[in-house]
Amino acid sequence: MKLPRRQFLHLAAGAAALPAVSRIARAQAYPSRPVHLIEGFGAGGAPDIVARLISQWLSKRLGQPFVVENRAGASSNIATEAVVRASPDGYTLLLVTVQHALNTTMLKLNFDFVRDIRPVASIARAPYVMVVHPSVPAETVAEFIAYAKANPGKLNMASSGTGALTHVSGELFKTMAASICFTCLFVEHNCIPLCSLGRCRSIFGPPFALIEYIRASKLRALAVTTTTRSEALPDVPVLSETLPGYEASTWFGIGAPKNTPAEIIERLNKEINVSIADPEFIARLANLGGTVLAGSPADFGKLISDETEKWGRVIRAANIKAE
């Protein structure tokens, strides 16, 4: 049977529109069951706290539970590999952190993070804080560097592990202070309590873990590592005032398996950005020393790429090797 031209064109246009209608319907139906957000550092740490915060808001907004799963181990790579191998349907997500950018250079992985994890949305950024034990005769970063120059080998700096941000932040500091002969040793342990007892002399660490030690005068804050001051520590200067261009921060976001449909990525991105704009969310994040970091999936992808390149240079220059 031969169709009239007008009827044929109408049917053809309808058929062409079906994929778009299907995508829209799929996005509107999502999620229809609980979503699992996997984080790779264990209960109680900053990644776990951020994961649970965003999960609460997404559960309320989308009407399905967002369940946080802690799969600690292998510098977050156990969790990452689980998401890489998960079905790309939006029901298994990954809490992405700066450690993923560090791991790309430092470790031999069973996956390609940039290729296999699709950026969904950034959530938050937080500075690190450079602190010293009160026995260190330095009230400022400049005094710390001068003391290190005058007393080579007498200062050490704790890190929570090889290739952790506590480690590479210190290595970046060493590199940028090289012209004044800064010398630093690194010890890996439960580093913040160790430093508060004077067993190590200095550390770069997250404000939520350090702030009570600072308030109790068990540790002295010399600087924050972002380019602007922290609301949690408003009287502490930024390190770049002494070493121009220095910046190191921890950040968090959401990723999904690489073939997750674009409409689900877009839906999640929209809902995450609305959630983190909530004044209550902002206030709760501020209590941890963090600020919200809104943006598109492409913005988050650029952050991951830029941080991978930046810290890759530091890791290679310092010859940091995984243990």
Burial of 166 (0-12, 13-18, 19+ CB in 10 A): buried
Question: Which pLDDT belongs to residue 82?
Answer: 96
Other beta carbons less than 10 A from residue 307's beta carbon: 18
Distance of CA 183 to the CA centre of its chain: 28
Find out whether 58 and 264 touch, Cβ atoms under 8 Å: no
At 3, which amino acid appears?
L
Question: Which pLDDT belongs to residue 90?
Answer: 98
pLDDT per residue as tens, the chain (323 positions): 555 666 655 666 666 665 544 555 556 689 999 999 999 998 888 899 999 999 999 999 999 999 999 999 888 999 999 999 999 999 999 999 999 999 998 888 889 999 999 999 999 999 999 999 999 999 999 999 999 888 888 888 888 888 889 999 999 998 898 755 555 566 666 778 878 888 888 999 988 888 889 999 999 999 999 989 988 889 999 999 999 999 999 999 999 999 999 999 999 999 999 999 999 999 999 888 889 999 999 999 999 999 999 999 999 998 888 76
Strand partners, 220: 132
User: What residue ranges do the domains of the chain occupy?
Assistant: 33-126+249-318, 129-241
pTM of the predicted model, to two decimals? 0.87
Q: What is the rounded CA–CA span in Å between residue 79 and residue 56?
A: 20
Question: Which pLDDT belongs to residue 162?
Answer: 84
Q: Which residues contact 290 (CB under 8 A, 6 or more apart)?
A: 50, 124, 125, 126, 208
Q: What is the rounded CA–CA span in Å between residue 272 and residue 277?
A: 9
Task: Name the DSSP letter for residue 245.
Answer: T
Strand partners, 127: 249
Question: Which pLDDT belongs to residue 231?
Answer: 84
Top-level CATH class of 33-126+249-318? Answer: alpha beta
Q: Judge whether 33-126+249-318 and 129-241 match in fold.
A: yes
Q: State the greatest distance between any 2 C-alpha atoms of the chain, in Å, as a whole number.
A: 95
Helix (H, G, I), strand (E, B) or coil at 37: strand
β-strand 249-257 against 220-224: which pairing, if any? unpaired
Q: Which two tokens stand for residue 253?
A: 């976001």
Q: What is the rounded CA–CA span in Å between residue 202 and residue 117?
A: 35
**Does domain 129-241 bear CATH number 3.40.430.10?**
no
Radius of gyration, CA atoms only, the chain = 23
Find out whether 130 and 166 touch, Cβ atoms under 8 Å: no
Q: What is the rounded CA–CA span in Å between residue 236 and residue 252?
A: 23
Question: Which pLDDT belongs to residue 15?
Answer: 63
Question: Which pLDDT belongs to residue 35?
Answer: 98
